[in-house]
Amino acid sequence: MGAFYVVYSWTRNLFGSSHIAADGIPEQAFNNAERLIRLERFIGLYHEESVQDWFLNWDWFIRFWNVYYGTAHFVVTLGVFWILFFKRPGVFPQWRNTLAITTALGIVGFSLFPVMPPRLLDAQCPDPVRGGYGGVCIESPLRDKGADGLVGTEDDGTFGFVDTLPEYGAALWTFDSDTMKSISNQYAAMPSMHIGWASWCAFAMWPLLRRRWTKIAMLLYPAATLFCIVVTGNHYWIDGVGGQLVLGAGALVGWGVHRWNQNRLDRKHEAQFATT
């Protein structure tokens, strides 16, 4: 975990919000966000702002998802990790490998393709005095098609997303705090590790669940997480697809590494047995 944090910090300082915000306007992260928006529009599924807008009048509802976003991602994953360690020791190594490699691939994604999340598209640009990580100072033709990004709607010159954490609160943390600014990469949106880790939890726990309602609840966890990252403005839904893809790759490599290690240990034990 310490090694992963060191690597994550290095990528954040070299490619992420700490580096970009300190050096100037975050055009790369903003342009990559535009690429994702155009892709979603091309396939007809750019509706994140509309989904968020449906629920903004329910303050308590948004506050709940703010708390969920900042807690479940870590608490549930850590809980499942230890359940596997104690309850499924025979398969724990491949699931551990999967989680580690998935996270490593996510860090690579953050480095190669930094993405400004929806909540920052209309937020204040980096300023040495006032701070900020947004892209409001960057011109974009996508701002000129209405608050929800659709042609034919009332144009207010914005993307229309709301940064729910400072607007609604209720979370145990805030991106505006000095601590979070120093340890977080605010352009680490693609792939979404919230979705990658949530799906990892569901798949790993499935064989342990006996009752139907527990299986349904476990499968709904990634779906609820997808809704959370969209309604809070922290991700585009396609970031979740990226999270699933790196999880698949992580599982493929992680299970392969486990099989290789088991074969190595078997050969070692056979050699020891032969000499005795």
* CA dist., res. 243 & res. 120, Å (int): 20
48-61 pLDDT tens trace: 999 999 999 999 99
Q: What is the pLDDT of residue 148?
A: 53
pLDDT digits (tens, 9 = 90+) for 70-82: 899 889 999 999 9
The pLDDT, as a whole number, for residue 152 is 46
- What is the predicted pLDDT for the residue at 237? 96
Q: What is the pTM of this model?
A: 0.85
Domain spans of the chain? 2-275
Q: DSSP readout, the chain?
A: -HHHHHHHHHHHHHHSHHHHHHHS--HHHHHHHHHHHHHHHHTT---HHHHHHHHTT-HHHHHHHHHHHHHHHHHHHHHHHHHHHHH-TTTHHHHHHHHHHHHHHHHHHHHHS----GGGTTSPPP-TTT-----TTS--GGGGG-TTS-TTSPP-SS-----HHHHH--SS--TTSHHHHHH--TT--SS-HHHHHHHHHHHHHGGG--SHHHHHHHHHHHHHHHHHHHHTTS--HHHHHHHHHHHHHHHHHHHHHHHHHHHHHHHHHHHHHHH-
Q: Give the mean pLDDT of the chain.
A: 85
In the numeric block, the tokens 């690597």 are attached to 7
Residue burial 21-36, b: 16+ Cβ < 10 Å; e: rest = beeeebeebbebbbeb
CA distances from 189 to 17, 148, 245, 273 (A): 11, 20, 14, 51
What is the distance between the alpha carbons of residues 133 and 18, in angstroms, rounded to a whole number? 9
Spans of the chain below 70 pLDDT: 22-23, 128-130, 144-156, 170-183, 270, 276
Chain centre to alpha carbon of residue 128: 27
